[in-house]
């Protein structure tokens, strides 16, 4: 990890800005939680019954591309996100939150479940280990392969600030990374923003890399989004 950080620091010397445009964006696997991980808050019972989520009444609705599934697995041995019981003593279980792009379940405590007229899902203490998969991911879809799929666009390796409106789904973050042309990194980029609506971002995920990164409570590969707004010069 230290060597990776050093190499990335050196590769970011003499950064440039890019012109404001709409472009495909590839998010590094280390940043996937900043994108897909938002569903654990948007589908949380508190957010839902308080009407502060852009995913209200989303059960049975397709919000991701059809190849995407998000699984909660609280029983992975030695994983930071594992928990046999939630904060109320309710047993946790492995389950699909998103299956083939469609919302199957929420994250509910006893309190929020009662407010919604539903049953607890064992999430009084939040989500327990989320894993993102795509049926289209191939073993050879490493970072180099994902850059080729990106073609020409922005490869984002860092995000700054908050910039997420959970009520509307608005997403706008300061970013840094690399400009890519024909699948090859051209130069480092700083001083830009990447923006879009999370519903469009989720439905526009065109690929999940095999270059998976596990934070201990969230695992995913790099994320290729078909189009986002890039704010530059």
**String of DSSP letters for 7-39:** HHHHHTSS-B---SEEEEEEE-GGGHHHHHTTH
Residue among 153, 149, 152, 133 at smallest CA distance from 141: 149
Strands 130-134 vs 218-220: parallel, antiparallel or unpaired: parallel
Residue 204 belongs to some domain of the structure: yes
Residue 11 belongs to some domain of the structure: yes
Region 92-103: what's the mean pLDDT?
A: 97
Q: Is pTM, for the whole model, over 0.85?
A: yes
Residue 10 belongs to some domain of the structure: yes
Structure tokens at 133: 């998969």
Residue 161 belongs to some domain of the structure: yes
Q: Is the pLDDT of residue 8 over 80?
A: no
Residue 157 belongs to some domain of the structure: yes
Strands 164-165 vs 170-181: parallel, antiparallel or unpaired: antiparallel
Residue 115 belongs to some domain of the structure: no
Structural domain that includes position 221: 2-33+137-231
Residue 104 belongs to some domain of the structure: no
Region 170-195: what's the mean pLDDT?
A: 97
pLDDT of 14 = 75
Bridge partner residues of 69 (DSSP): 133
Confidence of residue 83 (pLDDT cuts 50, 70, 90): confident
Looking at the chain, the whole-number percentage of residues with pLDDT higher than 90 is 85
Residue 101 belongs to some domain of the structure: no
pLDDT of 35 = 98
Tell me how many domains the chain contains.
Answer: 1
Distance CA 45, CA 59 (A): 12
């Amino acid at each position: 990890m230290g060597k990776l950080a050093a190499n990335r620091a050196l590769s970011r010397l003499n950064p440039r800005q890019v012109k404001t445009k709409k472009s495909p964006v590839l998010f590094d696997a280390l940043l996937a939680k900043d994108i897909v991980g938002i569903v654990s808050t948007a589908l949380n019972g508190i957010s839902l019954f308080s009407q502060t989520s852009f995913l209200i009444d989303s059960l049975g609705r397709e919000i991701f591309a059809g190849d995407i599934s998000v699984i909660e697995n609280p029983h992975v041995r030695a994983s930071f996100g594992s928990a046999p019981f939630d904060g109320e003593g309710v047993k946790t279980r492995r389950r699909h939150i998103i299956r083939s792009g469609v919302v199957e379940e929420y994250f509910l405590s006893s309190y929020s479940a009662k407010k919604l007229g539903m049953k607890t899902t064992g999430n009084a203490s939040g989500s327990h280990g989320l894993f993102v998969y795509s049926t289209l991911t191939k073993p050879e879809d490493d970072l180099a392969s994902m850059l080729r799929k990106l073609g020409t666009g922005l490869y984002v390796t860092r995000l700054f600030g908050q910039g997420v409106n959970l009520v509307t789904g608005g997403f706008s973050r300061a970013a840094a990374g690399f400009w890519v042309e024909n699948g090859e990194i051209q130069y480092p980029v700083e001083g830009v923003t990447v923006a879009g609506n999370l519903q469009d971002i989720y439905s526009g995920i065109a690929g999940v890399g095999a270059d998976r990164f596990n934070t201990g409570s969230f695992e995913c590969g790099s994320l290729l989004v078909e189009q986002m707004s890039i704010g530059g010069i």
